[in-house]
């Protein structure tokens, strides 16, 4: 478990965490990088996902001073690009999520962990389970993203069975979600 020193997201992650810690911004690492740190299974991801309680808490000026570039806000994320000389498409995307299901709890309960040469606040497995399940159930998200979130839920449930057992309706939700996503895949296949 953990983040490989050769991971291309390590430097941008270290930089954004330094800004958040220096500005005393409560946050939690979530998403694919958090899954890498919580799971024994390999997990790839293109971006860094961080939870904050509200978008207003994002230290915009400090991020800009550190070289991060704001790329816009969407309904569920405030998007930034890591600093660097490389073309935009080769610099890591950093996405802040706020005010969604489970975000406040994830930020409040985040634990400080060693990420190799630096520390960061990582969402706990139970909070990740809630966040990933909510993301997988969100009908406005792309089916491929929802399937990855479903796989993340299954991975967390397998690795943290005591945590998964605390969600009484988890199996029913997984069964319903699997059926829904399979139906979406079949429907899309017929459209082609």
Q: What is the pLDDT of residue 160?
A: 96
Provide the H-helix boundaries in the chain. 10-22, 31-38, 60-65, 103-109, 125-137, 143-159, 161-165, 170-191
**Cβ distance 30 to 13 under 8 Å?**
no
Q: Which residues of the chain have pLDDT under 70?
A: 1-7, 185-192
Question: What domains are there in the chain, each with its CATH number?
Answer: 1-123 (3.30.460.40), 124-192 (no CATH)
Contact (CB, 8 A) for 131 and 106? yes
Burial 135-148 (b: 16+ CB within 10 A, else e): bbbeeeeebeebbb
pTM for the structure as a whole: 0.90
Looking from the CA of 123 toward its CB, the CA atoms found within 13 Å total 32
The length of the chain is 192
Give 124-158 as a 3 state SS string: CHHHHHHHHHHHHHCCCCCHHHHHHHHHHHHHHHH
Question: What pLDDT, on a 0 to 100 scale, did the predictor assign at position 191?
Answer: 58
Q: What pLDDT is attached to residue 1?
A: 47
Predicted pLDDT of residue 127: 96
Q: Check: CB of residue 83 under 8 Å from CB of residue 68.
A: yes
- Measured distance CA(144)–CA(150) in Å, rounded: 10
Q: Is 108 exposed, middle or buried (0-12, 13-18, 19+ CB in 10 A)?
A: exposed
pLDDT for residue 41: 83
Residue 9 Cα distances to 34, 92, 115, 140, 180, angstroms = 12, 7, 12, 27, 33
* Cβ proximity of 164 and 157 under 8 Å: yes
Instruction: Give the SS3 label for residue 2.
Output: coil
């Amino acid at each position: 478990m953990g983040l490989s020193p050769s991971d291309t997201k390590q430097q941008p992650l270290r930089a954004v965490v330094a800004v958040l810690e220096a500005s005393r911004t409560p946050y939690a690492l979530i998403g694919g990088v958090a899954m890498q740190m919580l799971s024994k299974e390999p997990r790839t991801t293109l971006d860094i996902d961080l939870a904050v309680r509200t978008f207003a808490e994002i230290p915009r000026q400090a991020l800009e001073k550190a070289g991060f570039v704001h790329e816009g806000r969407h309904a569920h994320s405030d998007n930034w690009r890591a600093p660097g000389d490389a073309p935009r498409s080769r610099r890591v995307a950093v996405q802040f999520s706020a005010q969604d299901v489970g975000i406040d709890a994830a930020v409040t309960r985040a634990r400080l962990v060693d990420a190799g040469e630096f520390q960061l606040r990582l969402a706990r497995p139970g909070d990740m389970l809630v966040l990933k399940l909510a993301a997988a159930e969100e009908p406005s998200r792309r089916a491929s993203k929802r399937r990855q979130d479903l796989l993340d839920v299954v991975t967390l449930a397998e690795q943290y069975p005591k945590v998964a057992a605390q969600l009484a309706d988890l199996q029913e939700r997984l069964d319903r979600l699997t059926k829904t996503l399979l139906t979406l895949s079949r429907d899309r296949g017929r459209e082609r």
